[in-house]
C-alpha cells in the first residue's frame, strides 16, 4: 500500500512536471539549440558562427516576433559522433525546439536520421553538401547557405565566356565539398567551350602543396583552386614561392574573409565566386559588415554570415507563424517559405527543396581601405541550386563526385 502510493505520487509529480514543461514550451522563450565547434581543427569556423549568430540575436534584442529567444550552445568538436550526442542533449534534455548547426556536412549527415525521428526543425548555417537539398531530402531541414556547387555553375560560365579561358587545371580538397565544387565548375566551363585538362585531388590534410603545384600542366590558361579551412593560405603562398605565374581562380572558401585577413599579396588578383562577399556594396550589407567589424574587429565571411542568416531565417519564419511554434508542421512550412527581400546576401527565397535561391557574385581580391577584400565584379541574380536546368532534369544525373567527368 505504502509502496503503491509512493509510485502514484511519483507518477503524478512526473505528469505535473511534464505538463508544466509543455506549457513553458508554448509560452516561454523559444529554445534554440546551437551546434558549433569550439575545439579541434574546425574551431575557427565555429567561433565565426557564434559571432554571426550573436550579432543577429543582439540586433533583435533577444526577441523575435514578440517571443524571447534562448540560445543553448553545444560544442561538437567537429566530430560526427559527438554531434549526435550533443543534438540529443539539446533536444531531449534542454528542450530545444529548433536547431541551428552543425558546421560540417559530415556532422549534418550524422544527425540526419535523428532529425527525422524527432521531427526537429533544423537550419543549416554552413553545411553545403548538395544532396541534403537534392536527392536525400529531409523535410525538417532548411539551409541558409548555398550548396557546394551553386556558385560555380555561373563561375564556370564566367571563366569561359568573360575571362576567355580555354584550358584550366583544377586542384581541390579531396572530399565531397571539393568534389562538388569542382564538378559544378567543370560542367558549366565545358558547356561553354572550355576544357578541364587536369584534376588534382589533394588530401584535406596535405602537409605541403609543392608536389601538387609542380604537377600543374604548364599549358593551362588558369588554375581553379577549391580549398576549405586554412588550405587556401598554404596553397596560395606556396604557389607564389614556386614562381607560378598563371592566374588563380578560387572557390568562395579559398579566399574567404575568415582567412583572407591573414593572407598577403599572394592573394591579390584571385577571382572567385560565392553567395556572399563582405565587400558587397549595399546599405544592408554595409551596416552588417560595420557591426561585425565593430564587435569582432574583422570582416564577416562564410561562417559568420551563414549563422547570421540562419538566425534571420528563424526570425522570418517566427514572424510568419506569429511566434507560435506549437504546430511543428506549420512552423517548418514557414521555415521552408522564408522570403527575405533585403539581407547581406541580397534577396533570398527558398525553393521547394529547402535550398535558398541567391545572388551569386564574382569577386576579385583587391587591396581596399588597407586590407584585402573580395571586390564584386559581377552579380548573377537569383541563382538556383539547379542553375538553368529544371530540377527534375538536374536530379536525374548522379550527385557530383570525384569521378563526375574525367579531365581530358
Partner 1 sequence: MNFWIIQGLNGLAFGSLLFILASGFSLIFGLMRIVNLSHGAYFMLGAYVGLSAIEAGANFWVAILLGGIAICVLGTLIERFVLRRLNGQPLAQVLVTLGIAFIIADACVWIWTGDPRPVPMPAELTGAFRVAQLAFPIYRLFVIGVAFALAAALWFLLERSRLGAMIRAGVDDLAMARAMGIRTSLLFSAVFCLGSALAGAGGVLAGPILSVYPGLDTDMLPLALVVVILGGVGSLLGAFVGSLIIGFIYSYGQALFPDLAYVILFLPMVLVLTLRPTGLFGRQAI
Q: SS3 of 164, please? A: coil
What is the pattern of x (binds partner 1, CB under 8 A) and - over residues 7-46? -------------------------------xxxxxxxxx
Stretch that binds partner 1, among 142-150, 206-214, 278-286, 324-332 (CB under 8 A): 206-214
Tally DSSP H helices, then E strands, for the chain: 14, 15
| Of residues 253 and 325, the one with the C-beta less far from partner 1 | 253
CB of 36 to partner 1, least distance (A): 11
Find where cell 558547356 sits.
191
Nearest 5°: CA angle at 135, between 155 and 385? 25
Among 23, 242, 322, 398, binds partner 1 (CB under 8 A): 242
Asked if 230 is part of the footprint of partner 1 (rule: CB under 8 A), the reply reads yes
Among 106, 114, 212, 389, binds partner 1 (CB under 8 A): 212
Q: SS3 of 16, please? A: helix
Stretch that binds partner 1, among 23-31, 123-131, 226-234, 306-314 (CB under 8 A): 226-234
Asked if 197 is part of the footprint of partner 1 (rule: CB under 8 A), the reply reads no
Give all strands (DSSP E) within 106-221, no chain letters.
Answer: 122-124, 141-143, 167-173, 195-202
| Of residues 4 and 214, the one with the C-beta less far from partner 1 | 214
Among 14, 20, 88, 211, binds partner 1 (CB under 8 A): 211
CB of 194 to partner 1, least distance (A): 22
Asked if 202 is part of the footprint of partner 1 (rule: CB under 8 A), the reply reads yes
372: left (phi over 0), alpha (psi -120 to 50) or beta: beta
Asked if 264 is part of the footprint of partner 1 (rule: CB under 8 A), the reply reads yes
**Span 150-169, contacts to partner 1 by CB under 8 A:** none
| Of residues 25 and 44, the one with the C-beta less far from partner 1 | 44
Grid coordinates given for 155 = 563561375
Element holding 64 (H helix, E strand)? strand 63-64
The torsion of the CA quartet 104, 105, 107, 108, rounded to 10 degrees, works out to 120
3-state SS record for 235-282: HHHHHHHCCCCCCEEECCCCCCHHHHCCCCHHHCCCEEEECCCCCCCC
Among 88, 219, 241, 401, binds partner 1 (CB under 8 A): 241
CB of 203 to partner 1, least distance (A): 5
| 139/193 Cα distance (integer angstroms) | 38
Asked if 238 is part of the footprint of partner 1 (rule: CB under 8 A), the reply reads yes
Among 93, 117, 207, 294, binds partner 1 (CB under 8 A): 207
Stretch that binds partner 1, among 132-140, 176-184, 204-212, 311-319 (CB under 8 A): 204-212
Q: Are 252 and 149 in contact (CB under 8 A)?
A: no
The candidate with the shortest Cα–Cα distance to 225, out of 152, 129, 303, 146, is 152
SS percent in the chain: helix, strand, coil, step 5: 40, 20, 40
Asked if 219 is part of the footprint of partner 1 (rule: CB under 8 A), the reply reads no
Stretch that binds partner 1, among 84-92, 236-244, 286-294, 390-398 (CB under 8 A): 236-244
CB of 215 to partner 1, least distance (A): 5
The candidate with the shortest Cα–Cα distance to 208, out of 180, 177, 233, is 233
Catalog residues that contact partner 1 under the rule CB under 8 A: 38-47, 174, 200-203, 205, 207-208, 210-212, 214-215, 229-230, 233-234, 237-238, 241-244, 258-259, 262-264
Amino acid at each position: 500500500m505504502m509502496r503503491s502510493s509512493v509510485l502514484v505520487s511519483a507518477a503524478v509529480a512526473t505528469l505535473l512536471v511534464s505538463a508544466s514543461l509543455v506549457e513553458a514550451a508554448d509560452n516561454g522563450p523559444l529554445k534554440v539549440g546551437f551546434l558549433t565547434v569550439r575545439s579541434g581543427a574546425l574551431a575557427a569556423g565555429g567561433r565565426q558562427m557564434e559571432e554571426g549568430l550573436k550579432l543577429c540575436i543582439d540586433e533583435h534584442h533577444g526577441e523575435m516576433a514578440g517571443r524571447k529567444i534562448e540560445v543553448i550552445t553545444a560544442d561538437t568538436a567537429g566530430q560526427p559522433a559527438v554531434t549526435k550526442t550533443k543534438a540529443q542533449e539539446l533536444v531531449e534534455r534542454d528542450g530545444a525546439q529548433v536547431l541551428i548547426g552543425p558546421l560540417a556536412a559530415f556532422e549534418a549527415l550524422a544527425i540526419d536520421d535523428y532529425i527525422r525521428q524527432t521531427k526537429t526543425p533544423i537550419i543549416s548555417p554552413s553545411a553545403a553538401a548538395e544532396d541534403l537539398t537534392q536527392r536525400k531530402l529531409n523535410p525538417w531541414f532548411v539551409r541558409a547557405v548555398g550548396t557546394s556547387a551553386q556558385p560555380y555553375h555561373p563561375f564556370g560560365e564566367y571563366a569561359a565566356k568573360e575571362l576567355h579561358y580555354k584550358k584550366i587545371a583544377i586542384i581541390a580538397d579531396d572530399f565531397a565539398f571539393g568534389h562538388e565544387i569542382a564538378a559544378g565548375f567543370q560542367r558549366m566551363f565545358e558547356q561553354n567551350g572550355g576544357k578541364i585538362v587536369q584534376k588534382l585531388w589533394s588530401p584535406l590534410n596535405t602537409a605541403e602543396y609543392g608536389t601538387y603545384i609542380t604537377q600543374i600542366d604548364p599549358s593551362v590558361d588558369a588554375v581553379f583552386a577549391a580549398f576549405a579551412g586554412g588550405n587556401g593560405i598554404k596553397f596560395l603562398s606556396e604557389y607564389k614561392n614556386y614562381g607560378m605565374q598563371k592566374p588563380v581562380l578560387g572557390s568562395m572558401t579559398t579566399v574567404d574573409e575568415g582567412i583572407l585577413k591573414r593572407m598577403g599579396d599572394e592573394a591579390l588578383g584571385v577571382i572567385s565566386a560565392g553567395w556572399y562577399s563582405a565587400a558587397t556594396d549595399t546599405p544592408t550589407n554595409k551596416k552588417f559588415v560595420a557591426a561585425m567589424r565593430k564587435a569582432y574587429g574583422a570582416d564577416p565571411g562564410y561562417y559568420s554570415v551563414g549563422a547570421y542568416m540562419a538566425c534571420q531565417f528563424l526570425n522570418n519564419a517566427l514572424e510568419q507563424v506569429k511566434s507560435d511554434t506549437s504546430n511543428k508542421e506549420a512552423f517548418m512550412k514557414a521555415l521552408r517559405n522564408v522570403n527575405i527581400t533585403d539581407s547581406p546576401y541580397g534577396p533570398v527565397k527558398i525553393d521547394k527543396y529547402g535550398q535558398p535561391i541567391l545572388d551569386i557574385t564574382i569577386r576579385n581580391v583587391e587591396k581596399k581601405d588597407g586590407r584585402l577584400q573580395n571586390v564584386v565584379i559581377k552579380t548573377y541574380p537569383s541563382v538556383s541550386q539547379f542553375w538553368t536546368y529544371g530540377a527534375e532534369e538536374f536530379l536525374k544525373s548522379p550527385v557530383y563526385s570525384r569521378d563526375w567527368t574525367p579531365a581530358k
